[in-house]
Structure 1
Amino acid sequence: MSLMNLHVDGQRTAWRIRQAARWWSRAIGLLATPALEDPCGLWIAPCNSVHTLGMRYPIDVVFVRSDGTIAKVVEQLRPWRAAGCRQARFTLELRAGLANQLQLKPGMVLALAA
Structure 2
Amino acid sequence: MLVVDGRDVAPVEVATTRRARSRGLLGRDGLDGALWLPGVRSVHTVAMRFAIDVAWVDRSGVVLRTATVAPTRATRWVARAAGVLEAEDGAFGRWRLAPGAVVDILADGDAHATGELGR
Verify the 8 A CA contact 1:21 1:46 in the aligned structure 2.
no
TM-score with structure 2 length normalisation?
0.84
User: Which residue number in structure 1 is paired with residue 15 of structure 2?
Assistant: 20
TM-score with structure 1 length normalisation?
0.88
Q: Deviations over 1:4-50 (max 9, x none)?
A: x110112222x1111102100000000021211x2x22100111100
User: Which residue number in structure 1 is paired with residue 5 of structure 2?
Assistant: 9
Q: Is 2:29 the partner of 1:34?
A: yes
User: When the two structures are aligned, how many residues end up with a matched partner?
Assistant: 106
Out of 47, 66, 88, the residue aligned to residue 59 of structure 2 is 66
Query: Identity of aligned pairs, percent?
Result: 33
User: Which residue number in structure 1 is paired with residue 114 of structure 2?
Assistant: none
The Cα RMSD (Å) is 1.0
In the TM superposition, what is the alpha-carbon distance from 1:106 to its structure 2 partner? 1.2
Out of 33, 40, 43, the residue aligned to residue 50 of structure 1 is 43
Gap runs ≥5 in structure 2 = 109-119
User: Which residue number in structure 1 is paired with residue 71 of structure 2?
Assistant: 79
In the TM superposition, what is the alpha-carbon distance from 1:100 to its structure 2 partner? 1.3
Larger Rg: 2
- Tell me how far apart the structure 2 counterparts of residues 98 and 92 of structure 1 sit (CA, whole Å): 11
Q: Deviations over 1:83-110 (max 9, x none)?
A: 1322211100011101111121211100
Gap runs ≥5 in structure 1 = none
